[in-house]
Chains A and B, each alone.
Chain A
Amino acid sequence: MPPVNEMMMFKLCEVFSESIPMAVIQLKNVLEVGGDVDWIVVGAFLVSIMFVAEAVSYMTYMKDISEESRSTGKIFYGFMPLSGHRMHVVKISLLCMSFSCCTAKSLEIVVLLQVGGPFLAAQVLGADLGIYLIYKFARNDFRYWIPLPRGTSLIASFALRVMVKIVTDFTGFLHARHPFEMGGFYWFINMIMTQVGVFGALMVKQEFGWREGEGEVVVLPEEERVLKDEDYLKLAVLNFALWLISMAGLYIASEKKFNHTFYSLVTGKQFCRKLFETDQAMTIMEIFNCHRR
C-alpha cells in the first residue's frame, strides 16, 4: 500500500469516528450555551472543524498530486495546478469548502436534534444514505473496487460506501467525486443537498419549534442563550456564501480539462474501462492486479 493511501485511510478513520461527531456535539453545546461562555470550549469546536477541513483538503491535494496517481490515473487526477496563484486559490477553496460543509451539516443535525431529538436526525441521515445506496445499486455500481471474496466484498462495500458518504456529507471530500467512490454527479448533488438541508431544517424548526427537554436535556430560555434562534439563519446564509465562493474558486482555478470530473456520470466500471483504453502498460497492470474482476 502506497504511503499516501495509508495516510488517507488513517485520516479518514479519524475524521469519521472522532472529528465529525465531536463537531456536531460541540456545535450543539455552543449554540445552546447561556451567558457564561467558556471560550476555550468555543475554540475547541473551531479547532475540530478546522482539523476536519485541513485533513480532508490535504488528503485530496496529496492524492491528486502524487506521482503514482498522476501516472496510473491520468484521466482523473490532475485538477490541482502545481504552482502559481491558481494552486493557492484551489487550496484555499478546498479548505473553505470543507469548513463550510462541516458547519452546514453539523448545523442541520443540531437543528434536527433540537426539533425532534436523535430519532428525527437519524431518520433524515438514514433516508439520505438510503437514497445514495439505491442510486449505487440502480447504476450497478455498488460493489467496491477492492478485490475481495464475494461475501466480504459486499460487507466491505457497504461499510466503505456508508463511511465515504458520511465523510463527504460533512466535509465535501473532493476525492469522493472519483467514479470509484460517489462519482462526480452524485458528489455535486450531495454538495447542494448539504446546503439546502440546513435551510430545510431551519424551516422545519420555524414550523414546529423546540422539542421538550428530557432527562439531562435542559434547554435554556431563548433570552438567556448567547445565540438566539434568528442567528441560526444568519449563520446559515454566511456559510452558504462561503460555500458558493469556494465552489466558484475551485471551478475557476482548477485545471480546465478536469472540470468535467466535478459532475461526471461515469460509473466505476466505465472508468476502469476508460483507464484500460489508455493503453498504458502500468495502468493495465494495475487494473488486473488491484481491481475486482
Chain B
Amino acid sequence: MRDEMIIKTAEGNLVDEIYSSPVDQWQHRVRGLVFLVALAGIVLIGIYLAWYFSRDHTREYTDIQEHFKYGSIGSEPGGTILTPVGGVLPPYLVFKTLPNVCPDKLPGGYASLGLIFEANHDLPIGVSRRWRLGTEQVGLNCAVCHTGTVRERADSRPIIVLGMPAHQLDLERFFQFILSCSLDDRLTASSVIQKAEESGEHVGLIQKLLLKVALISRLKMQTLELQNRMGYALSGALPSWGRGRVDTFNPYKSLQFNWALDQLPHDELIGASDFPSLWNQAPREGMHLHWDGNNTSVDERNLSASLGAGVTPVTVDHASLQRVHNWIWTLPPPRYPFAIDQTRSLRGKAIFEQQCAGCHSFGGNKTGTVETLSSVNTDPYRLNSYTYIFCINQASLYPESQYRFTHFSKTDGYANQPLDGVWARAPYLHNGSVPTLLDLLEDPANRPKQFARGYDVYDQQKVGFVYDTPAARTEGSFYDTTIPGNGNGGHLWGTTLPGDQKRDLVEFMKTL
C-alpha cells in the first residue's frame, strides 16, 4: 500500500511516497471503520433524539364518542423543545401521580372533583394523551366540561351523557389542586418516578432523566408564573365557581393579555356561569351564542372554548376538532331517561308554545337573540365581566393566523337559548342559580336561596338535580344566591302560571 503526501513548493509539487506497515494498514482500515461506525452511531442517535423530541403522536379513536371523550384536540403542550407553547396540565406521569404525591390536598382523587372515570381508562373523560416534546403529555378536550352524569336514585348506576354540561365538575378546585401540588415541596422527580412505578407504570431511562433535569423544574417555573398572573383570582377574593361552573373570560384577561387583575374593578372579575350543552349545533349557527350572546359563529365559539383548554394555533389538531365539530353539529339532545306523564306533557306543550316558544324554540322570532338585561333582569355579573375593552382585545389575538376572532361583540343582555335537552341542563339560568325548572317558574322570592349543586341524582318532579338532601349537600357544592354573581332573580316568565300548569309545562319540557 502506498500513501502519497503532496507538498506544494515554488518549483512544483513534492510527492513523498510513504510506505505503510501492516499495523498501519490494519489501523487505517479499522479506525476508518470505527470512525464510520461512531459517526453512524452519532447520526443515528441524533436522528433518534430528533424523532423522539419532535414526534407528535396521539391515539386515534375510530368511534366518535370515544374520540370525544378521550381524543386529543391539540391542547397538550407543543411547539418545539426550545419554544414550547400551549397546554394547561403537567405531563402525563406527573398528572397521574399528583393525587398520590399530595393525598391530603385531594383525598378522593380526581373523581372527587367530578371527573368521570370509566373502566379500562386510566385517565378521566375529557383528559387526552399525546406524545409531544419528548414525553407523554395530557390535555383537556371538549368532553371535560361537556359530559355529565345522571342517576335515578343514589344507588343507581350513573348514566354518562355526552354533550351535557358537566354539572358535577369542580373545575376551579381541579386547577387549584394542580397548581398547589405542582408547587408542593413533595413534588420532585424522584417522588413522581416512585409513585408512578408503584402504580405499575414503566418509567424509561430517558423519561427519568427528563423528569430530573427538565420537566419538574419547568413545571414549577410555569406554575409560579401562572400563580403570579392569577394571584388575585386565586387569593380567595372572588366567589368560588362551585361545581358545574366556569368563569370563561376573566382568566383570559391575565393569561392572554397580561392584565393585572387586582387593578381591574372587583365586580368585573366575577363571571362564573354554567357549562352549556354541546348538542344540536347546526340550527344555532347565526344565533347569539354564549350566555350573553357575544358571538354569532359556532366555529369561533368552539375555538374560543378550546383556547381555554390550552389549544394554540401552533398546537391545534384541526382534524380532531373538525370531527368533534361534525359530530356535535347534528348530535341530537339526549332523551329524558325516565318516565313522562304523556297527558300532562300534552297539556304542557300548549302552554310552552304560548309562553316560551317565541324565545326558546328553534324558529321562534326571538330565539337566539339577546334579551336586554332590563328585560330579563337576571344576575348582571356575567354580562358585565365581558367588557367592551376585553372584546376589542380579543380581536388582537393571533392576528397572523386564520383564527383571528371577528365575531365577538359586546351585548347588553343575555341570549334567548333554544331549550333542546333542557332537562339535562340543570341548574338553570346562566349562572345556575335556580336548581330546577319548577323552581324557575316560582317568583324569585320563592326560589331556593341556598342549595347544593353537582349532585347527579335526578328530581323527576321538579326537573333538575336533587339539591336539598344530606347526600346532595355532601357530594355537591354549596350555592348561596346572596353572593355577588349568584343572584337568582329575573326571568319572571311563567312564574304567574297556576301550579298545575307549571307542572304540565315542566312535564312537557322533559321531552325537548
Whether A associates with B in a native complex is no
